[in-house]
Amino acid sequence: MGNSGGSRLHSTSLEIADVQCGTSVVVMGRYLMGLRREDVLGHGHSSIVRRAVQLDTSVEVAIKIYRTHGEPGSREERSILRMFRRQIDVLQELQRPWWRPPNTRFWHPTMAGKEPSELFLKLVDYSKDASGCAGMDSKERSLYVITELADYSLQDMLRARRRGELEISKDQVWSGAAAIILVVAALHAKGLVHLDLKPSNLMVCGGRLKLIDVDGCVAANTVLWKEDTSISYTPVYCSPEWARFVLSESPVQVKVAPCMDVWSVGVTIWELAVGHSVMSLQHDGLVAIHSRGAHRHLLKWLGGLESPPSMDSVAAVDPELHVFLRDWLLVPDCSLRRTLAECLCRPVMPSSQSLQSARPSVTTQSSM
């Protein structure tokens, strides 16, 4: 397991791939993939995402290439293959028609009016092994996931805002919050938990917010062990209960629950509202003091929270949002957090879920 940017219970901080000759290459016989530095849309510990063009349609797509560092058949290669196949399974499941979950706390009528493709990144293609199953491309010996190309990420918006290039109004914050909540509520309605929600994993495609980087998604109530290297998390956005799990010697397993994502959604909305959270500030301060142990110190502080973290910066600009975050999402006791579907029932939640009017002039695609 690892922290992405982070931690993969190891880290998702991947250096951009080695310099390659030429400016493009044909992948899987159907996609012309750019090899220039500007064609890199994002990267993680085990993968890199590049811009490409589908040869028969001239449509732009994003290609995620998994990188295996171990020997063929090694534990590391098996872990990467498990992540790859899980991503394919999840992306396929996310495009299937809705079904109402047995627990009505995870359902909201808004979902029924949305096509899954409006909320989740569309899978275009993927590499297959000699038997036709998801796996290493039989000719190129590589793992590829091809998806639609997004316009920009929520992280891009936040960076543009910090540089003074973009203003986000109070109404846009609420509309963005509603979009984030709807997307992740829909994931939970499908019975899945993301575990690494953060601004870079929320992409805008044609004005619609969509969720990416689902190779770490697991079914709710799954029991995870610390030794599982196919699961990622990011300390600044992870929940207090996850922080305690990472730090504890015993137990060495945890049951995955949607409330873990609820906390991450709260931190993300906090950053959307004021540009940063106390967790990110705490992390930056700890990095300055403990260059190597900052993540562990942050997790220790986070895991020890008994009351919601101070959100004075949010209260100063939007008291109603402050109350919403404090009482509904950023509650240290996970059993007291509301479900995201319940959040959509909140009277102040806008019916419009869009970030189209707040657009930075950049395009990235994280690591899908």
Q: Which two tokens stand for residue 24?
A: 């493009």
Q: Which residues carry a binding-site annotation?
A: 64
- Cis peptide leading into 251, omega within 30 of 0? yes
> CA-CA distance, 254 to 79, in Å (whole number)?
19
> CA-CA distance, 18 to 231, in Å (whole number)?
25
Listing DSSP states for 138-185 in one string gives: TTT--EEEEEEPPSEEHHHHHHHHHTTS----HHHHHHHHHHHHHHHH
Q: End-to-end CA distance of the chain: give it in Å, rounded.
A: 18
Dihedral angle at the C-alpha atoms of 286, 289, 293, 294, nearest 10 degrees?
10
> CA-CA distance, 70 to 10, in Å (whole number)?
15
Q: CB under 8 Å to 331, separation ≥6 — which residues?
A: 308, 337
Q: Which residue has the tokens 């969720």?
A: 211
Q: Which two tokens stand for residue 27?
A: 């992948």
Write the single-letter amino acid at 204.
Answer: V
Q: Which residues carry a binding-site annotation for ATP?
A: 64
Dihedral angle at the C-alpha atoms of 331, 366, 91, 343, nearest 10 degrees?
30
> Would you call 121 helix, strand, or coil by DSSP?
coil
